Structure 1
């Protein structure tokens, strides 16, 4: 079963995803309701709907309910049997799949809110499964009738006639800088992992014209993207407060900023118009324009967005907060005028680059690596849900000497082409000091095949006067360690491992 993970007064709580609707910011105050109920803190006005809000900690007896919860950062809107109410949460985490057979039932009792205990996949943290029926059944709670799109599957007025269940879309307002006005985006709710009620991106070397920096979400540091700039529109106003919605590709998460969530509506085909001709990424991402009561909204194809090479590359570089945190100011902007394939810059006793498409992901150095049986490296191996990844000091492989403290670095996961096309892919973890940047080279030296045997192309990043840097072939470095049946020994450091030599 799929559940959304929340945190309430520090405790991990799960709810079935089909009852989770959205997350809204914590209001400055709650309005009083003419009723008394355990844990009821008041009501908020959500798009002309009065939404009662419960404090689960007070309801379950964790707190006495006499003081407002200091840890709460937002309100999660729940919809169950055509009724809606809100619950206070400290934070919103991921969507995970729980094995029903692994749930440990909780004994029945008076005011039982939680039906089972579970172990969070990947972390081992114990959580509790909340029973939506028990929450909505609290005596005295005036749960409101939910919006027609959630209750009956019918489109709201103004979105077309529709047949059956037309796709539900989250409509968000994005505010452009320089007085360019607001832009509405409509995104299929099936593509939205969750929403963050407030967001303040931190500067990062990942920053570009459309990447605003990074933010932490649960155990992951992920890139924050301005969808307006990404689509070639005037960028978002950086003086306003932001919310964000999270979307997930096969490689990782991405945060898209917006100013305000307006509604969830079902957009019928009859309420759509063909999108105007456009260039760049927008040509494949904006499918059409939805005619909504709030105004025209660009319908965003999230799958097409995440399929873009540069966007996909950003999602693959999700790192944990324990990793070396990217910091600093913008070092360069990714622009459509640069045609060379992007490279990732990192530190390994000097600045080195590698083709971005060779990096399968970036993770922190593990706190407790396991021994690498039969391997020559003393760094051990990283155990993941899918494989056991041997860890290698990249600087040492390149003949630069060992890193001063590999355990303080980050791991580039590399998945070279498998020797056996029918066999399972294997990965190697190359340990570097820190991840520095992602850039498109402004210049790349072209050498013929004979010359490349002695010296492969150099790349120049940042600007026309930027440094010439080595571009390492990570696949060639990792390939000897993933060959099925081969001994895990140090590979030769011949010129075939390099695209270039360094002048760092």
Structure 2
């Protein structure tokens, strides 16, 4: 249940401040630091000396304008993203960012006489001009032999430009950024670009003015698309693969995922069913969707397989064969294209197809339409209980769970068994060697990863956050990306066990999570729900 390797470079997305919150570049005067005028009611000795001709008496029009930064020691209002330009670090207010994307091996040509322009990139159908800040700041620029690095996109959904960088390093919380009281020369190019200065861990870092480059003539990418200030609604899907075909089912339509089990081809084998599988004392027909929908000619023959249980309300669930459970995807309606009717003999059970920029097409299934398919439904009725009845002395101790509330949860191990609400899970990514090394050393904050949409995601060890020790040799560690307080964070877990509908045994009290139990289990195991907002997470 692990996604392909993450992009390998950190990135930052406007979701850090809520999509649409990024500031569109406007006129330079809108963001220029305030000029500090002399108080006419208070004449200093220096001014007296100037009047006496003992100091420089040039008029203000003859002298460069002097401006001052925010008072030293004051705290910034928003977090800062630290960007490595190669020869220096700069900071960018996260509200001025749109996202960060991996840089291509070679930028596309872009004809412009504006200073610093080195090319352009295509970002979701929008051409974005790209500038190299280095030479404008008196620093070396990007060289042909340098690693591609990243492109930092500044602006919002309608107006944007990009700058080249070696990497996006980290997000620094506002409380850890101390703006400095510095008198600056407003006419100097470097002071116009880096109009403010902050102190981060005793390191002085200039803050990029997002309006300075457009004021110098750097062109802006402008989109004519209708602007919606709110984030487009997303829906979470489980990505699984059957006979080489990638399918997605809405998480809301899934009852559970079943671990790999033996297939008995001597029973329930007919049409799309490859035989029977048994899980928790229940035998079900294992359905091969790829073959049934005419997308594979495989004749089956597998001896073992895992499965996804399709929820059907009052009717019995359907077991869909899943050779690999790959990931959880968070998709908007705009990312799902129309399903070509010639690709399946039953196109009515599809909502569409999702094709990532780099990757294979994924077919988005309609869970309700599948559940109502008459052929598939007939196999649901064949589900039956198997095995011996429990001993008489155990029957009286059995708790009736039929009246209790249930919910879908992602079951993981992070030092201990725990559960994560599926509603907050956005995706699952693999663990890079850099993150794995920090995790193996017992660190809580593991650095940052990049999501598929270019967001920079602070990542933490869930075991360490819960006060436990991670497994010394975890079989399949993975990073579960969840949304907490409208920001994404990554939680590294030792192992992902299952996606399963669980019975709520006890509701949450104060900071403790709900206690869940599988609907049917031999060991009556209990799983505590991790409350993301109660985790003590610090990026230090």
Q: Give the TM-score normalised by the residue count of structure 1.
A: 0.42
Higher relative contact order (CA 8 A, sep 6+): 2
Q: Give the TM-score normalised by the residue count of structure 2.
A: 0.40
Rg larger for = 2
